[in-house]
Structure 1
C-alpha cells in the first residue's frame, strides 16, 4: 500500500490524479487550506477524484462552513475521511482591547448531524493555546462538545511529530495549563481515537457522570501510574488495538468501581469487546472469539444506549461468539 501527501497545484490537479493508478498510490492526504475552504475548487477535486481514483483512500481537510448537501453527495461516492478543524470563529469581539475566544457550537452540531445522517467518516482537529483568548477551560469544553457529535476520531496536531505548531503562554493559558492540555490530548488520542471508541464511548461514560475531558485527564494519570508517558508519541503509536483495549477495560473497571456502578461494568465490557472485534475485522481482517455476558443481539440494539435501563430490562445470557468478515462487513455467529 502506497500513500501520498500532496499540496495541490490546482492547475495540474486533474493530470496528477490520472497517474495514481500507474504509481500504485492507494492513499492520499489532501490537507490543502485553499481546497478546504473554497467550495468550487473542492467540488472540482471531488469530481476528478470520483472519476480517476474512486478506490483510493482520501483524507480530506475541509472547513465546516462549506459542508452541505452537495458536498456530502460527492463525498459519498468516495472512500474518504473528512478532517474538520475545530477552531474558534473568525468573528471575535473585543473586551478592553483583548480578543475573546468564540466557538460556534451550532455550526458544528449542524454539520456533524448532516455527516452522521449520511453515514460518512469524519474527525475533528483540535488545537490549544494557539489563538489569542483561548484558555484551558475552553479547550476542555471543546473536547467535551466534540465527543457528543460522534466523530470517528479526534486529532491534536500539536502532539504529532514535526507539526511546527507552537503553543503560546498567555494570561489565559499558563505554561502549566499547556502541559495539562498535552497530556489530556495524548490520553484522548489513545483511548478514543486509537482505541476506536466512537460506537460506545458516550453510552459507556454516561452512567459515570463525568465530563469526557476529566475522563481523559484521569486516564492520563492512570497511564503515568502504569509507566506509560502519555506524551511519548512513538510509544503511543506502537500500541496495537488489542493492547489499547486491555487498557480501556482495566481503566473502565476502576472507574465503574470508583462510581459504585460495578453492576454496569459487564455491559460496558461486552460493548467494548464486541465493537473492538468488529473494528479488527475491518482494520486487520482478524477473526475474534469472545466470551460475552450478554447476547450481541441485545448489545447491538438501541437498548444499550442506556446502560442502567439495559441492566434493568435485559437478561444476562452468557455466550461464546465468533466475529468474522462477512460479505458486507463484520458478522458474528454463536458457537
Structure 2
C-alpha cells in the first residue's frame, strides 16, 4: 500500500484515500494531492499533518480499514472514480459505523453519481468539480480558523447541504502539490503532470465536457519550477494530462521547445487533437522521445456531431500524415456504442484508424458517465446501461446487445493481435496480400481466455496460427513462408528492443532479403526471391537491436 506524506510526532489531521486499479497500483494520487495542496496553500495545515493512502482496489478491505483507523485522523477524504467508487463507498460506510466522530468527505469524477441521487450519504460533504479552494473553505469553517472562512474563492452549494459544486477558479494560481512537497518525484519513475485545465470541446460522453469550456494554462514560472524539480529528481517519464495539449498551438510549440531544450532525456506522453496539428508542431515532437495519443472515437462526422464532437476528416488525415512523415509515434482511441453508430459503422472506424498504422489502437465500450450531457439525454437517446460503475452501455436502438458483444470481440481481437502483438511493421503488408480489410481479417481471430496476461512470444504464436489459417483459406499458401518470416523477424526485433531478449530464429529466406523493404510486397517478393533457409540470432545492442546469421546450423 503506497503512502504519501511524512508523519510528524502525531497522527495526521487529514487522511486521503485514493484506491488504485490493480493495473495502475503504482500511479500517483494526483487528485487527492491537489486537495491536500489546497489546505497547505491556505495555511490551514502543514504538509506533515496530511497523509495520502493509495492501496489497490484488490487489497483486502479490512486491511485498508485498519490502516486508516490506526492513524486516528480527524478527517478522511475519498477520491471517487468509476473503477473505485464501489469499494470506496463501502469503506466510508464502515468508517462511519466505527467512528461517528470522524468527518468523511469525497470528491472526484464519480462523485457526480452521488449528486444525481441528491444526497451525499455517508459523507459529510461531497465536492463536485475542482476542490482545491472549495474544500479548503469548508475545512476552515468546520475545523480550521474561523478567521480564514470565506477568504478562499470558489464554492457555492448545489443543494442537499452536503453537495458543494465549484466552478473552475479564475482567481490566482492553483496550488502545486509538487512544489508544496505533497508529492515527490521518484528517480527513474513516471508521473502525471498538469500544464493547464479545461477543454473547449463539448463531447457528450466526457467529463471534460461538463464545465464552461474555459481553458486555463498554468504559469510558465510554475511549469519551469516543477520541471526543474522533476529533472533534479531524475524522473524518467511524464504523462501530460491536458485533455488537448495543442489546443493553443503557439503555447504547445513553446512548451515543446522548452522540453526539448531542458528535458529531452525524459519520455513524454501527450494527448492532442490531430485537426489542430501543423508542421511546426510535428517537427517539434521529433525533438523529444515521446508518444502522442489522439482521440478519434469514430470516423463518422454524423456520429461525432450527434455526440457533441466536431470532426474534419481532411485535417485529421493531414495531421496523421504529418506524424507519420516525421516518424512521431502515435496511438488512436475508438469508442463503440456511441449514439447514432452501429456495428457496421464501428467496423468502418476500425478500418479507417488502422489505415494510418498507429502504434496501437485503444478501443473502449461507451460508458454513460454521471454528470455528462450523454447521461442527461440517456432516456431520449434510448440508452440502456449498467446502473453501477463503470456504467457501460448495454444497448441502444442502433446498437443491439448482440452487436455490442460482436464489437467487444473485435476490440479484444484488435488489442491482442495488433496492439499487444506489435503488428504495426507488417500488418498492412499482410492485408494487402490477402485483399482484406482490418476488421474482416480480425473477425475470425479469437484470443484465448486470459490473453491479457500473455507475453509477446505467446501472442506471436497465436498470430502465426491465424495467419496460416487465413492465407490457406484464401488460396495464398504460397505466400506463407515470406509472411511468417516477416512476422517472426519483426517480433524478435521488437523483443530485443523492448525486453532486451535474444531470439534464435529459423527463416525461409536469406537474412538480407528478410531485412529488406521488398518483403513488404509479399506476392512480388515470393515470386522473385528464391528461398534460402538460414538460422539467425536477433540480439539487443547498445545502439539498438541487430541480427546475425548463425553458420553451421543448417544455414
Query: Does the pair score TM above 0.5?
Result: yes
Residues 139-177 of structure 1: per-residue CA shift (max 9 Å, x gap): 1111112222111111124499x9957447322222222
8 Å contact from structure 2 (residues 323, 329) kept in 1: yes
Partner secondary structure for residue 433 of structure 2: helix
Deviates more, 1:206-215 or 1:188-197: 206-215
Deviation, 1:94, is: 12
- Whether 2:503 is the aligned partner of 1:295: answer no
The 1-side partners of 2:521 and 2:471 are apart by 15
Partner secondary structure for residue 245 of structure 2: helix
- Residue equivalent to 1:87: 297
- Whether 2:334 is the aligned partner of 1:126: answer yes
Partner secondary structure for residue 33 of structure 1: coil
- Distance change >3 Å, CA 207–CA 45, structure 1 → 2: same
Unaligned runs of 5+ in 2: 1-187, 197-217, 370-388, 551-555
The 2-side partners of 1:90 and 1:206 are apart by 24
Displacement over 6 Å in runs of 4+:
98-102
8 Å contact from structure 2 (residues 301, 311) kept in 1: no
- TM-score, scaled to structure 2: 0.53
Unaligned runs of 5+ in 1: 230-234
The 2-side partners of 1:165 and 1:126 are apart by 17
Deviation, 1:66, is: 1.7
8 Å contact from structure 1 (residues 184, 216) kept in 2: yes
- Residue equivalent to 1:77: 287
RMSD between superposed Cα atoms in Å: 2.9
- Residue equivalent to 1:152: 359
Rg (Cα) greater in structure: 2
Where do residues 1-335 of structure 1 align in structure 2 (5 Å cutoff)? 1-9=188-196, 10-11=218-219, 12-88=222-298, 92=302, 104-130=312-338, 132-158=339-365, 166-167=392-393, 169-220=395-446, 223=447, 228-229=448-449, 235-335=450-550
Report the count of equivalent residues. Answer: 320
* Structure number having the greater helix percentage: 1
Residues 7-66 of structure 1: per-residue CA shift (max 9 Å, x gap): 434233222222113333212222421424332332233223223321111121110012
8 Å contact from structure 1 (residues 88, 102) kept in 2: no
The 1-side partners of 2:254 and 2:390 are apart by 30
The 2-side partners of 1:93 and 1:198 are apart by 28
Deviates more, 1:10-19 or 1:278-287: 10-19
Deviation, 1:334, is: 1.2
The 1-side partners of 2:281 and 2:431 are apart by 33
8 Å contact from structure 2 (residues 303, 341) kept in 1: no
Partner secondary structure for residue 28 of structure 1: strand
- Residue equivalent to 2:112: none
- Residue equivalent to 1:232: none
Deviation, 1:107, is: 3.0
Residues 223-247 of structure 1: per-residue CA shift (max 9 Å, x gap): 3xxxx23xxxxx4442111111111
